[in-house]
Amino acid sequence: MAKSILVIDDTAFMRTTLRRMLEENGFFVAGEAENGEQAVEKYKELKPDLVTMDITMPVKNGIDATKEIMEYDPEARIVVVSAMGQKSVVIDALNAGAKDFIVKPFRPDRVIEALQKVAN
């Protein structure tokens, strides 16, 4: 059965790009969120298998959203996809509970690989 994914990014363009890419590779996009607060709400509502999480977002950033989701569900599988690739940011994200960190611009196969690995 296809794994379900929640796509989180504040830019419509990125959400559309990720959705297209994920659907082409056999994933089911359960929903989208455009900021950290929506991210947590949607996660609780949809209970997806996987999450792609941006970091720099209004209202609540991706690191805080990751922490909250992990608190709610310690089994959550979050892969961060962000333009913010500073070392300390990567460390913060992994410490918050993200399973992997991909810096934009990304190669689609890198993202798919990461998600498939985390899913299994």
- Taking CB under 8 A as the binding criterion, the range among 23-31, 43-51, 69-77, 82-90 that sits at the site for other proteins is 82-90
User: Measuring CA to CA, how many Å separate 31 from each of 24, 40, 68, 76?
Assistant: 16, 12, 18, 16
Cα 21 off chain centre by: 14
Does 80 bind other proteins (CB under 8 A)? Our answer is no
Minimum gap (Å) between residue 7 Cβ and other proteins = 14
Does 105 bind other proteins (CB under 8 A)? Our answer is yes
Does 119 bind other proteins (CB under 8 A)? Our answer is no
Beta strands in the chain (DSSP E): 4-8, 28-33, 50-53, 78-82, 100-103
Minimum gap (Å) between residue 16 Cβ and other proteins = 7
Does 83 bind other proteins (CB under 8 A)? Our answer is yes
